[in-house]
């Protein structure tokens, strides 16, 4: 479990905290989405989870290990893997296979295990046929999948996606998210999704809304559609399909639970039509 207790963080020279008195628990296997406007503290929170940043006040613990203790950082970063918005910041080797192997070699794993993990990770993200391709020759979506493969090969317990799909087109974004959720189902990995895209955040089990370094709302995604003040204050807009469902409800259509995507809305409308 990842636990944040009274976490406050200031960037050097800043007079206003990027995060202020954050208390949060993240369970193994959970799918948590963190959303909010630019500057709300989302990415700062992400970097605190594996010790890239350390709190000025409070504590961050990962499975009991304190990020404030330098001796614990290697173990923490093996547990908490991160994929960033720009994959070029994570790609360091001459070929895709070498890039995935880089972190494993630093762990001192046996060569046979490294090869097995590299093969598995590349196959998992659909890049096994590009193992010998230099990363700079890959497309943006392929680079992001390669960055994900490098993290998955480390076998983390928690996977943090820090705006990892923000630079991708909708098709590539969907591919990355589906691969991540597949690994969550098969490996029990907890997913912490940092995103300003409500379409992505609504896929989670639990959602946090952040504003000005504070958590302003937390709950299940289906509940957020009723939080007009929270959404307006954070500058967030519901996806068009959710807004359509709300409009239909106001017009008297009995939709049951709030449809969060096109598939759910189509299913609800089909049921309504079949009753007529």
pLDDT confidence of residue 172: 82
pLDDT under 50: residue ranges of the chain: none
Computed on alpha carbons and rounded to an integer, the radius of gyration of the chain in Å comes to 20
Give the chain as a DSSP string. -EEEEEEEE--TT-SS-SEEEEEEEE-TT-EEEEE-STTSSHHHHHHHTTTSS--SEEEEEETTEETT-GGGHHHHHHHEEEE-S-GGGT--SSSHHHHHHHHHHHTT--HHHHHHHHHHHHHHTT-GGGTTS-GGGS-HHHHHHHHHHHHHTT--SEEEEESTTTTS-HHHHHHHHHHHHHHHHHH--EEEEE-S-HHHHTTSSEEEEEETTEEEEEE-HHHHTT-HHHHHHHT----HHHHHHHHHHHTT----SPP-SHHHHHHHHHHHHHT-
pLDDT confidence of residue 233: 86
pLDDT confidence of residue 58: 97
pLDDT confidence of residue 175: 84
Exposed, middle or buried: residue 99 (CB in 10 Å: 0-12, 13-18, 19+)?
buried
φ, ψ of residue 216 in degrees (nearest 5): -100, -15
Exposed, middle or buried: residue 112 (CB in 10 Å: 0-12, 13-18, 19+)?
exposed
pLDDT confidence of residue 228: 81
pLDDT confidence of residue 251: 79
Task: Give the domains, in start order, of the chain with CATH numbers.
Answer: 2-225 (3.40.50.300), 239-276 (no CATH)
Kindly report, residue by residue over 102-131, the tens digit of the pLDDT: 999 988 899 999 999 999 999 988 899 999
pLDDT confidence of residue 276: 61
d(CA 246, CA 248): 5
pLDDT confidence of residue 272: 75
pLDDT confidence of residue 107: 85
φ, ψ of residue 158 in degrees (nearest 5): -130, 135
pLDDT confidence of residue 140: 86
Which residues on neighbouring strands pair with residue 87, listed in sequence order?
Answer: none
Angle at 65 between CA 63 and CA 56, to 5 degrees: 120
Kindly report, residue by residue over 151-169, the tens digit of the pLDDT: 999 999 999 999 888 778 8
The mean predicted confidence, pLDDT, of the chain is 90
């Amino acid at each position: 479990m990842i636990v944040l207790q009274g976490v406050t963080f200031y960037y050097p020279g800043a007079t206003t905290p990027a995060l202020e008195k954050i208390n949060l628990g993240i369970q193994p296997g959970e799918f948590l989405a963190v959303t909010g406007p630019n500057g709300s503290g989302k990415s700062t929170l992400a970097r605190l989870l594996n010790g890239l940043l350390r709190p000025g006040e409070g504590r961050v613990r990962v499975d009991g290990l304190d990020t404030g203790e330098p001796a614990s950082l290697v173990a923490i970063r093996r547990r908490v893997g991160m994929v960033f918005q720009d994959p070029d910041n994570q790609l360091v080797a001459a070929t895709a296979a070498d890039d995935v192997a880089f972190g494993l070699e630093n762990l001192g794993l046996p060569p046979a295990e490294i090869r097995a993990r590299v093969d598995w990770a590349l196959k998992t993200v659909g890049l096994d046929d590009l193992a010998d391709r230099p990363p700079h020759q890959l497309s943006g979506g392929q680079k992001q999948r390669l960055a994900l493969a490098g993290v998955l090969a480390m076998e983390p317990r928690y996977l943090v996606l820090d705006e990892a799909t923000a630079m991708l087109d909708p098709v590539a974004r969907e591919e990355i998210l589906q691969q991540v959720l597949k690994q969550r189902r098969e490996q029990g990995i907890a997913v912490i999704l940092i995103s300003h895209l409500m379409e992505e955040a609504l896929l989670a089990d639990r959602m946090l809304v952040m504003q000005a370094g504070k958590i302003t709302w937390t709950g299940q995604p289906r509940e957020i559609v009723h939080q007009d003040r929270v959404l307006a204050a954070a500058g967030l807009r519901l996806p068009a399909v959710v807004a359509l469902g709300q409009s239909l409800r106001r017009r008297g259509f009995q939709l049951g639970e709030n449809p969060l995507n096109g598939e759910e809305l189509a299913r609800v409308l089909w049921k309504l039509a079949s009753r007529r």
